[in-house]
Structure 1
């Protein structure tokens, strides 16, 4: 090609990191698992899904596949294009190193974010290419030229007898799925190889490792020396093996068996990786040793014929069990890790999202079973799946440790919420707003109970939410909506909501609607737990628990709910072990409803909001299905409102803390969070704290009124105050005074009344 044509003016585009200037991204990738049309007419190689190499077939260089075959294969695996003259690929790991390179508009794609590859067509013949290669010190049959700048490798020019992976392939980098993406789905441009070489040299690119720094060169030398030592050791080991095989063959090479034994010896030498030339020496030694053991001479030609037959045949392939094949594939495509308690987890790409499950969980066992059936077309044995799970769990125990989160987490001043979707999209909330993201910087896990939250939608109204929940008085509205804001608050301590009222006041349906809004699952209402273990197991599977129809709160449940508010760990001996312990750590808000659901212990009373509901008239009553359907249809707008409130909370946390300084209630963190969110709530700043303090005071008064002893103490104090004095005396005297004030019949004292004066001293 002459100088004029080599330096002609192209309709140029500049190489940059991540995109091509003046070139719009194509829609080639919108239809997933489709080979871009720019590669039509080329030969293709087939590769396993998620891998760059090796191709699935031996001798792939001479077995190009058609565009149609590649189209079918890419629905289940990766593909690459064969690179041979006149086509070539410029593969740039660091496009910024050649950012001033001007090349024609051509086929281009991302191999990973910030890395580009270009398909071009040489204008020179193979002979002219060979001459140019010779001019830069390269062999004419070289497969690719590595590019260096300032001693650092920045890319390659792939010329012949090689391949390049193309879209819609993908690979895993540090446990994250990276898709190959088309940048320009247009036919390859014709480019001069001589021009490209000169341009690269002008930009400071070299084509050899001579410019690599001394440290890197020394490291390469040391690595080569190590390889040489390994080669020597391996050669010594192979020589000993070959000698043993030869001696065994000589012993067995009796009359009538010399040919068969010689062939077996040749196959053994082949299987151990001994080259044919070296193997021929051993075969000739064998021939000399057994030559005269039969009726006729075992000749040199017969020995070499056995050798040729053995080395022309394929070595026997060891059969790999189906479960081991599946295990190998799983190990290449999943990420294993464990939490602080030692529980093993697995993360993998599914439905375009990044999912995490406990290794020993039903969802992951189902995933393995489907994978086995899809791969082999048959149902796996249960023991095979369990053995894979056990092995993966043991591997996970040796991998990295990560903290786990259920439904909600905060990281770097942003709140992340697992919406429970099949594509594992995550809601990200910041002080500036909210959006959906593909993956969170934390590890969300699922235990199979949660159901999806719809994608939040802007434009909702708190007035509509209040009407759906059928809240009437202002205090109930403020406190119920404030409790709902814990759905977007990742920290705690949390406040529980108690719904009380007469029969027919709508306690259960309101509890269902609140659960559906804040933490939808397949269990909107639970029966009261039988014991502490049942309670903590339920809390492991759901973030917000809703208990229905409580008839009083037992002391153990009252203590456990206090622990749920501030955070606690429940532990017990692990089954089938002597000393190992299983533990569950939780911090959860709850909903409690019932005619006698109000707590009777002051420590829990400080951690609740009590809403008293009035009976619903017949004219206002609606069916449960109608109410649930109305909430479900408005759920996207409700979550848009909750996300807006959380964004305001992130913006205003510091200011709210300063504003409430000196007058914080017992649940200070909860109060600060609600005050921070008040900016977008349907009440004025400061209204929440007033309603909250009033609710706590009324709950305490109700508790005192319901306790006959506490009421007697208050009445005695009031009487003493009227006499302008305070009570002084023994426990017996106090007991008698209280008995008289309360009008208690000592022969038949009511429930909760002290049995004797000694109790007054406790």
Structure 2
């Protein structure tokens, strides 16, 4: 046999073994994956990361079965052929931690992060731990996929109580909102606002954030520092489900906008590596959890996507070792109680609140209240109201608009953006004879266009305080040029 024939035979042996033991497919973004037949975990063909690649998996399987140790060249060529075959093959979605069931409506799955693929099936009639079939769900594992303990059945609210006993929430409303957020994290179809943990020094904000994260991600999960740029944050959220960011002291405008996209869902498109014209698509929507933010620097659109959870200093201090040993011991009961509650809550039929931006989460709160009457929906409204106050306190333009609206009476006022800029600037700077002059603050709008853009961002915040801002054009009877105007009307908000 010639050397060429020998190499071809080796490639054929590898390809035949691979096709007999693995199913190959592509994700909607075009990434090729391999899934062991009868097992729910898939691995990317090309990854060389610590989570392992299919190439490593295949090489190890063939070696353990006594087929020999093949050269890297032969393995690469065989996998290149298999990757090419996936172009015309099936397209499947891979998931991290939670996923909808592909074969049953209303059923979701929770990955326990175990090597044997055991997962939790959450259905309308109850939940159970078993290994899903390849048709039901496909899991993707990363270094951030920690292992969860087997949840204890029949816990109900007793399991939730064990979590509340370990956390330092200052009121029942914050406790209820924390559980509503955890319920949302179990449902891949529900965008959830990002909990923002506040409290005095020593209230255990970081510790509570770890606990909430580890209920979903396991004991190996930990808090992270905020990435410095967009690429870093997208990489962080793509590798896990819950993204906990600790001790944030400042958010740039771009990072704030990106967090809005992560909470409600978006995608990024970048040039694929080592190509000139191909692109790589990355879709993401993940639960965020934040601590340490001064809300005054939060932009209004992010403020609508936050969940204010208040903490207080504990009456009794415990050592780290004691606290986490107790939490680890309670985690199976906490997770079981959360799953029991998820089944109960999802069965409730309630109306969707139409006045809140994150209506899916508001509906979940209403379902939760229908079961246990803990007032999570009123608490969510109060949380948004608190955040609105904080946003206004940190935005001089919003304060000036509200101050002007208080003197307008009930009728609307229409002006061009430039005229509004002049009106608001005069009001703030104190150009009236009986008021001292104040220099304009940094970031004050310099043109009518900048003012218009700022007001669009502030529109929901101002509406929450009864001031409606709208844009339009004059009719030809009013102005032959049909110039644009901004209309401000006080007293029409909720």
TM range (shorter): 0.7 to 0.9
Q: What pairs up with 1:642-653 in 2 under 5 angstroms?
A: 642-652=338-348
Question: In 1, distance between residues paired with 2:452 and 2:64?
Answer: 73
1:713 is aligned to 401
In the other structure, the counterpart of 2:285 is 587
Cα distance change of structure 1 residues 480 and 384 upon mapping to structure 2, 3 Å threshold: same
Matches within 5 A, 1:215-364: 324-349=12-37, 353-362=39-48, 363=52, 364=54
TM-score normalized with structure 2 length: 0.78
Task: Tell me the CA shift for residue 628 of structure 1.
Answer: 2.9
Distance in 1 of aligned mates of 2:151 and 2:388: 38
Retained in 2: the 8 A contact 1:598–1:610? no
> Cα–Cα, structure 1 residues 612 and 553, in superposed 2: closer, same or farther, change >3 Å?
farther
What is the Cα deviation at residue 322 of structure 1?
A: 5.4
Q: Give the match's secondary structure for 1:404.
A: coil
Kindly report which structure 2 residues correspond to 1:203-214, keeping only aligned pairs within 5 A, or say none.
Answer: none
Within a 5 Å distance, the mapping from 1:650-689 to structure 2 comes to 650-652=346-348, 655-657=349-351, 660=352, 663-681=354-372, 683-684=373-374, 687-689=375-377
Residues 512-571 of structure 1: CA deviation (Å, up to 9, x unaligned):
111111223744212112222222222221011111111122111111121112211111
**Alignment CA distance shift 1:761-1:533 (3 Å):** closer
Select which of 102, 119, 127 maps to 1:434: 127
Q: Which residue of 2 aligns with 1:47?
A: none
Aligned to 1:454: 149
Whose radius of gyration is greater, 1 or 2?
1
Matched, 1:470 2:171: no
Which string of whole-angstrom CA distances, capped at 9 and with x for unpartnered residues, describes residues 258-306 of structure 1? xxxxxxxxxxxxx9xxxxxxxxxxxxxxxxxxxxxxxxxxxxxxxxxxx
Alpha carbons 2:121, 2:127 under 8 Å: kept: yes
Q: Structure 1 residues 755, 338: CA separation in 2 closer, same or farther (over 3 Å shift)?
A: closer
C-alpha spacing 1:725/1:493, structure 2 compared with 1 (3 Å): closer
CA distance 1:666–1:388, shift in 2 (3 Å): same
1:368 match: 58
Return the alpha-carbon distance in structure 1 between the equivalents of residues 385 and 448 of structure 2: 30
**Preserved CA contact (<8 Å) 2:171 2:310:** no
Change in Cα spacing, 1:643 to 1:599, as seen in structure 2 (3 Å) is farther
SS at match of 2:307: strand
SS at match of 1:543: coil
Partners of 2:263 and 2:141 in 1: how far apart? 22
Give distance in 1, aligned partners of 2:448 and 2:91: 57
Partner of 2:113: 420
Aligned partners of 1:717 and 1:727 also within 8 Å = no
- Which residues in structure 2 correspond to 1:493-512 (within 5 Å)? 493-512=191-210
Matches of 2:215 and 2:68, distance apart in 1: 42
Decide whether the 8 Å contact of 1:735 with 1:760 is kept in 2. no
Asked if the contact 1:360/1:389 (under 8 Å) is kept, the reply is: no
Contact map agreement 2:431 2:437 (CA 8 A) in 1: no
Partner of 1:630: 326
Contact conserved, 1:664 with 1:671, CA < 8 A, in 2?
A: no
The two structures, once aligned, show a CA RMSD in angstroms of 3.1
Cα pair distance change 1:668/1:715, threshold 3 Å: same
Shift of 1:667: 1.0
**Aligned residue pair count:** 432
Cα distance, 1:473 vs structure 2: 0.8
Question: Contact 2:147/2:220 (CA < 8 Å) preserved in 1?
Answer: no
Other structure's SS at 2:223 match: coil
Residue number among 265, 276, 285 corresponding to 1:578 in the alignment:
276
SS of the counterpart of 1:416?
Answer: strand
1:642-686 residue CA offsets vs partner (Å, 9 max, x unmatched): 21122123322xx213xx46x5422111111232244554x44xx
Report SS of the residue matched to 1:366.
helix
- Residues 761, 389 of structure 1: CA spacing in aligned structure 2 closer, same or farther, 3 A cutoff? closer
Q: Tell me, in whole angstroms, the C-alpha distance in 1 between the residues paired with 2:300 and 2:424.
A: 23
How far is 1:453 from its partner?
Answer: 1.5
SS in 2 for 1:442: coil
Residue 481 (1) aligns with residue 179 (2): yes
The answer to whether residue 224 in structure 2 is matched with residue 526 in structure 1 is yes
Q: Secondary structure at the match of 2:273?
A: coil
Confirm or deny: 8 A CA contact 1:451 1:522 kept in the other structure: yes
Match of 2:422 in 1: 732
* In 1: Cα distance, 2:254 partner to 2:178 partner: 26
User: 1:403 — aligned with what?
Assistant: 93
Work out the CA distance in 2 between the residues paired with 1:417 and 1:740: 59
- Match of 1:490, SS state, is coil
1: distance between equivalents of 2:141 and 2:241?
11
- 1:76 corresponds in structure 2 to none
Distance in 1 (alpha carbons) for counterparts of 2:341 and 2:400: 45
Q: Once the 2 structures are TM-superposed, how far is the Cα of residue 595 of structure 1 from its aligned partner?
A: 4.2
Q: Deviations over 1:383-436 (max 9, x none)?
A: 444444433322222211122322222232212222211110121111111112
Q: Residue deviations 1:607-641, cap 9 Å, x none? A: 11022333x36x63333343333222211111111
In structure 1, C-alpha distance between the alignment counterparts of 2:113 and 2:173, rounded to whole Å: 32
Deviation for aligned residue 1:509: 1.6
Pairwise CA distance, 1:502: 4.2
